[in-house]
Amino acid sequence: MDLKAYLQRVNLTDTGPPSLSALQELHRHHVLSVPFESLSIHSGEKIILDMSWIYDKIVVRGRGGFCYENNGLFSWLLQQLGYQPRVLEARVMNPKNGTYGLPFDHMILTVELEGKRWLCDVGFGDGIIEPIPLEAGREEKQDSSVFRLRVEGDEWHMERKEEEVWRCLYKFTLKECTFEDFREMCEYHQTSPSSFFVQKSICSLQLPHGRLTYVGHRLISTEYTKEGGSVKTTRVLTDEEIPGILRDKFGIVLSGKLIPKDEDIVI
């Protein structure tokens, strides 16, 4: 596992010693370079919760991954650079019915810098672009989105403002976990009919002024507006077009045949 190769993968040639500005740069470059995707599940490849395997997939093969892969590897990067990241577990909210996923549903990180604790998450998909301070009630504008953290008892709620309404993305506590603690849920998200990743073949990448998302037979382009909103356009894809879209738009070439999927999630 080569640190320099990882930095090249996220379009950085070097990074300075641990600092907030360096952490912000690393975080932003990762989400702008590494897709959030579930394509392994739909192309015959098992996701293995092993750091060297994840490194090979994301850095060597130019792929992306879901939270355990992206945040797991980002944690390794931070450790190599002298940071002291902590791994936390979170539970993602289903916006359709307001229920939360199972414990260890989602992996996030925190880092202590400059007298504050910062939340890092490069593996959510349409989430934060840079770390945000672990402070209740503080609104944080990033690109076209506004985020905040809300506290109820010992639970923190990550929220995003959508049309003047705050929607919870996920909730978490500050209890520290290990990378190994997510092994059972990593298997669940690859096999359960209730898993978002089983029901949808998805690949999504943050862009400087928007987001590009492939799901099933659709390519969705989101462009941020100056007013803080967004404009979405959708293109319907044939089976034959999908491999070229993944290669040209996301830099991804799969080793197995992809079976496109875009079904409603079973609760």
Residues catalogued as catalytic: 67, 106, 121
- Three-class secondary structure of residue 38 per DSSP: coil
Question: Looking up tokens 């076209």, which residue turns up?
Answer: 144
- 36, two tokens: 């959030």
Residue closest to 218 by CA, chosen among 257, 263, 252, 256: 263
What six digits make up the tokens of 265?
């999630």
Three-class SS of residue 120? Answer: strand
Q: Starting from the edge strand earliest in sequence, which strands make up the sheet with 165-177, in order?
A: 132-133, 116-120, 106-113, 86-92, 165-177, 155-162, 145-152, 140-142
